[in-house]
Structures are given as C-alpha cells and as structure tokens.
Structure 1
Amino acid sequence: MKKVLFRFLLLAGIFLNFQQIDAQRVALKSNLIDWATLSPNLAVEMRLNQKLSLDISATTHPFSFTIADMKATHVRLQPELRYWFNRPMARHFVGVGLLGGLYNVKFNKNFYEGDIFGVGVSYGYVFVLSRHWNLETTLGVGVARLRAFKYREDEQKPDTPNWYRWSPIPIRLGVTFSYIFK
C-alpha cells in the first residue's frame, strides 16, 4: 500500500508540473466534522484542468484523554483525485482517494499501535456561498488495511505487528468550508 500511495503522489506531482497553478485554481479548506472530534485539519485543493482537481488533506488528533474507557490519537493524509460534472469547486463531484495514517488506541485494557492504508470512492456537492467561500459536503466509502501492535495493559509491547485486518471504512465524511484564492 505504501508503494500505491507513493505512486499516486508521484502521478499527482507530474500532473501539477504540467499544469499552471494560479490563484484562481487553489482553495484552502477545513473539515468541521474533524474539528468536532478535536482533530485539527487542513486541506488544499488544486484545479488540474476543466474537469479534474486534486484535494490533499492532513488531519491529526494529538490530544490524549480518556472518554468511556477509550483513548485515541492519530495522524492521517488523504489525497483524492476529483472529477467535476460542472466545473471544479462547484456542484457535484466524484472522487477516488487514498488514505494513509498512524494511530494509537487504548480500548478497555487493550492497546493498538499501528498504521492504516486504504482506498475508496466518494461523492460530494459544493455549495457556492460567495466569490471566495464554498461549503462542501462529502461522503465516501472504501476498504483499508489495518496493521498494529496489539497488547494488553499488563503485557509488554510485541517486537513485530501481530494484528492485521481488512475492513470497510468511511474513507471520507465531511462538511468543509473552503476559501478560494481569486
């Protein structure tokens, strides 16, 4: 999965190299749902041509506190290539995205420290609020491979990852405000 993420980012870099990026083609974004889970986040979306854009978001949850005997921290990176039915950054779009991240979860007396790599598809709609502001709603599903060091509170952390899962996941869930540079 790491090779797939690297190839996707390399391909995105090649696309961007051939495209002229100016102020009318870039948006700075933040997801309100991530903020509601106390996960600071920031995204950049760049228009590649008349129908495609590249969205790259980064999110972290660095805070460590316990709620209902569960504690979690994470960091994730999500690049997504979007196809727009009208024009980039307005109305309907579908996307193909990747997910990569690290997590550290304590649930009851079990610890999971590992990584996640996933791929999925998404659908979204962007409401144009003004010349510079947009509101985006997004929902996406996919599959992810989770790998972790799993151990109990009274055990020592193993030397190698000992817990592996393929799981369906919501790869995108967002209500996002965007500022478009014009």
Structure 2
Amino acid sequence: MKKIFLMLIMALGTVASHAQKLSVNTDVTMLALQTYNLGAEMTIGNRSTLGLSVFGTKNPYFHDNLKIMGVQPEYRYYFGGRPLYHHFVGVSLLAADYLFTHENVNYDGYALGAGLTFGYVFALSDKWAIDAHAGFGFIGTRHKKLHLDHPDLQLNNGSLLRKGFSSCYILPTKIGVTLSYTIW
C-alpha cells in the first residue's frame, strides 16, 4: 500500500509543475465516522482537476474488529467556468484493503471499483471551500472467509468465479462533505 501511495504522489508531482492551483482537503463526514483521510486536488486544465485521497480506520467506535485502508484517485470536470468552483462531475477509482469480523466469520480481502461522482463546491473565502458530493459505482471484492470457531476451516466456495471477484456490487463510492484549503 505504501508503494502505491508513493507512486501516486510522484505522478501528481509531475503534473504539479503545470498546475495553477493546489488544494489539500479532508472529508469531514468520514472523520465523523472515525475514518481518517487526507486528500489533494490540483488543476490540470481550464475546467478540470486531478485528485487523490487516502483513508483508513482501525477499530472505530461502531465496530470492534474492523480495519480498512484505501486510496481513491479522481478526475473532475467543473461546469462553473473554472476549476474548484460550482458544479462538477467526476470519475473515480477505488482500491481498499479490509479485515473485519461479522457473525463469527473473519473476512480478509480487498475491493476494487470505479464510479461517477456529482457535487458542488461552495467557496467560503479565497483559500477555504466546502464541497458536497455523492457518487455511485461498481465495486468488486475478493476475500477469504475464516470461521473463528474452527480456524483451520476456510469457507471459500468460489461462488461466482474461482479466480475472479467473490462478489460484485453497485454501491456508493463517495458520499460526503469535504473541507478544502487552497495552498496556491
């Protein structure tokens, strides 16, 4: 996961030399759910931006045995005439690693997905902004199931594809309110 994060930061750094604006942000909705996150968004055109957010949680207050770490790059196109302003539509990817226990079964796996995001940016000042966004997309998961009463018994049955994803869903990929600070 650290290698993927470093590669994405390096890729964003090469685009940053042409960027007009760079902002850092955090999703306050995810923070309220005790999922720590940090993101960056930079302009790459007259109406478009490229963003990257990383998130993670371990044993939040609503679930004792939960650990999630993920990364979510996103391309946004703004309809307000300039980037980081008014209505936007975005295309995002998602990669997450998870480990949790539900009904005495341990799930250890990963999720990959892609989706569309729609939102609106409210400017609070020259440097501060809030954006509200929601997005849905396709998410595939692959995990190992391990029954905690019998640790030697793995419950993988290859329900859909033996070598593919264990399950595929249409789910929310991004819902929240983000607080952003424009660095330059």
**Gap regions ≥5 residues in structure 1:** 1-5
Q: Which amino acid aligns with 2:178?
A: T
TM norm structure 2: 0.82
Instruction: Tell me which of 94, 98, 102 is aligned to 2:97.
Output: 102
Residues 150-174 of structure 1: CA distance to partner in whole angstroms, max 9, x if unpaired? Answer: 1211122678965600011111111
Aligned partner of 1:167 in structure 2 is: 169
Q: CA RMSD in A?
A: 2.6
Instruction: Determine which of 127, 135, 140 is the counterpart of 1:140.
Output: 135
- 64 and 118 in structure 1: CA distance in 2 versus 1, 3 angstrom threshold: same
Q: Residue 36 in 1 paired to residue 32 in 2?
A: yes
Alignment of 1:111 onto 2:113 = no
SS at match of 2:150: coil
CA contact (8 A) 1:149 1:157 kept: no
CA distance in 2, matches of 1:154, 1:95: 44
Partner of 1:80: 74
Cα-to-partner distance string for 1:19-42 (whole Å, 9 max, x where unaligned): 6345x5100000011101111100
Shift of 1:51: 1.2
Q: Answer yes or no: is 1:126 the counterpart of 2:128.
A: no
1:2-21 to structure 2, matched below 5 A, reads 13=11, 17=14, 20-21=17-18
Question: Does the C-alpha gap of structure 1 residues 97 and 78 become closer, same or farther in structure 2, counting only changes over 3 Å?
Answer: same
Provide the C-alpha distance between the structure 1 equivalents of 2:108 and 2:61, rounded to a whole number of angstroms.
16
The question of 1:53 aligning with 2:40 is answered no
TM-score by length of 1: 0.83
Aligned amino acid, residue 62 of structure 1: K
Aligned residue pair count: 170
**How far did 1:63 drift?**
3.0
Gaps of at least 5 residues in structure 2 are 159-165
1:76 partner SS? strand
